[in-house]
Amino acid sequence: AGRDKPLELTIVRDIIKVRSVRSKMLENDIGYVRIAQFQERTAPDLVRHLRDLSVEKTPKALILDLRNDPGGLLDSAIAVSSAFLPPNVLVVSTKGRIPSANREYHAKPADYLRNYMISSEEDYLADVVGWAKTVPMVVLVNVGSASASEIVAGALQDHKRATILGNRTFGKGSVQSVLPLGENTGIKLTTARYYTPSGQSIQVTGVTPDIT
């Protein structure tokens, strides 16, 4: 407004670092953990935050806040789910039109450390606090919770590990694969869908909360 010609601005490309995990202790010894998005370091950071929460006293319950979390890395979603689930249980599966698109991912290092390039192949979930797998737990979701968030919420719901509270999630349950067309080009195609451990598709329908 008030300008007779467009303003010219110089845009500088930069790396935006988002702190994906935050935590605090609420009243009545209830732990609160917020995951903003699923990045490479999200699961190791989660382990550290859970440990810090119980320095003075073990939480009586835990709130995992995934509201408005748009998702991120599949490996990170599997790892976060594994932090709260028993070993080796099914976390998520994919199904497509061809056999190679059909896969199952379980709560085990071989599935969440597949592309782990941070420092080593050491299992960062090996020293997760014991109470993380047993403490009463609520997961907060809304329509902004998508993709990896829905994988975590669906896995914890199906295994009856947590109560899901909020609104129906976004419904981004499709798998994209990049197919190379040459040295510098490729095409991203949707090749499969994500399914929760009970076999429910996340696509369009999302995850329905236990309590709306």
Whether 205 and 171 have beta carbons less than 8 Å apart is answered as yes
- Known active-site residue 149: no
Residue 185: CA count within 13 A, CB half-sphere: 2
SS3 for 147? coil
Q: CB-based contacts of 117: which residues, under 8 Å, 6+ apart? A: 40
- Known active-site residue 133: no
- Known active-site residue 100: no
172, 174, 198, 210: the active-site residue: 172
Say how far apart CA 45 and CA 114 lie, in whole Å.
18
81, 145, 147, 149: the active-site residue: 147
Q: Which tokens belong to 26?
A: 């609420």
Whether 140 and 66 have beta carbons less than 8 Å apart is answered as yes
Amino acid at 192: A
Closest CA to 128 of 181, 54, 74, 206: 54
158, 174, 177, 188: the active-site residue: 158
Closest CA to 168 of 187, 196, 144: 144
Placement of tokens 């790892």 in the chain: 79
16, 38, 79, 191 from 108: Cα distances, Å:
31, 18, 8, 24
Which of the residues are catalytic? 147, 158, 172
